[in-house]
Chain A
Amino acid sequence: MRDDLERLLERLVHASVLERLVISLAALVAAILVGGVLVFVSGAFASCRAGLDIAGVTFCYNPMQVYYELFLGSLGHPLEGGWSPMNYSLATTLRQTTLLIFAGLSVAVAFRAGLFNIGTQGQLVVGGLVTAVTVLFAAPYLPGGFVGTVLLVPLGVLAGALGGGFYGAIPGALKAYADANEVITTIMLNFIATGVTATLLSRWFQDPNSANPQTRAVPEYAEIPTLPGVGFSGRMDFSLLALGFAVALMIAIAWLLARTTFGYELRTTGIQPEAAAYGGVDEKRMTVASMTLSGALGGVAGAFWVLMQHGRWLENVPDLGFDGIAVSILAGNNPLGVGAAAFLFGVLDSGSSSINTSTDVPPELVGVLSGLLILFVAMPEFFRMIGRRFVDTDAAPARAAGGGADE
Chain B
Amino acid sequence: MSSGLSRRTVLGAVGALAVLWLVAGLAFPDSWAGALLSIAASPSTHTAMLRLAVPIALAAIGGIFAEKSGVINIGIEGLLIVSAFSSIIVTFWLGSGGSTLALSHHWWGFAVGVLASTLFALIFAVVCIDFKADQIIAGLAVWLIALGLAPFASRIVFDSPNTAGVGRFQNVTVPILSEIPLLGYLLFDTPPQVYIMLGAAAAGWYLLNRTAFGRWVVASGENPKALDTAGVDVRRVRYAAVLLSGIFAGLGGAGFALGQLGTFAGGGETAIGGRGFIAIATYLFANYHPIGALGGSFLFAGLEAMQIQLQNLGYAVPTELIRTIPYATVIVVLVFVGKTQLPEAAGEPYDGDEE
Contact = CB atoms under 8 A, between A and B. Distances in A.
Nearest to B161: A364
Contacts of B351: 402
Interface string B121-149: 00000110011111011101111111111
A402 B138 contact: no
A370 interface: yes
B353 A364 contact: no
Interface in A186-234: 187-189, 191-192, 194-196, 198-199, 202-203
B140 A118 contact: yes
Interface residues of A, number: 53
Interface in B285-320: 318, 320
Contacts of A82: none
Interface string A168-187: 00000010011111011101
A88 interface: no
A378 B274 contact: no
Contacts of B269: 191
Please classify how large the interface on chain B is, using the bins under 10, 10 to 19, 20 to 34, 35 or more: 35 or more
B335 A399 contact: no
Interface in A368-385: 368-372, 374-375, 377-379, 381-382, 385
Nearest to A374: B141
Nearest to A188: B327
Tell which of B138, B318, B331 has the most Cβ of chain A within 10 Å. Answer: B331
A379 B328 contact: no
Contact of B145 (A183, A322, A372, A403): A372
B330 interface: yes
B151 to A, nearest CB: 5
Given A364-B155, A368-B152, A379-B132, A199 B320 contact: yes
Interface in A95-141: 116, 118
Contacts of B321: 195-196, 199
A279 to B, nearest CB: 25
Contacts of B274: 187-188, 191
Contact of B148 (A199, A371, A385): A371
A260 interface: no
B148 A370 contact: yes
B152 A365 contact: yes
A375 B142 contact: yes
A362 B148 CA distance: 10
Interface in B40-74: 74
B153 A179 contact: no
Nearest to A364: B152
Interface string B331-355: 1001110110000000000011100
27 contacts: A42-B152, A42-B153, A45-B157, A174-B335, A178-B2, A179-B339, A188-B274, A188-B330, A188-B331, A195-B321, A196-B321, A199-B321, A326-B144, A362-B156, A364-B148, A364-B155, A370-B144, A370-B148, A371-B144, A374-B137, A374-B144, A375-B138, A375-B145, A379-B138, A382-B127, A399-B353, A402-B351
Q: Which 10 pairs, one residue from A and one from B, show the smallest C-beta to C-beta distance?
A: A367-B148, A179-B338, A371-B145, A371-B144, A362-B155, A195-B324, A375-B141, A368-B148, A364-B152, A379-B133
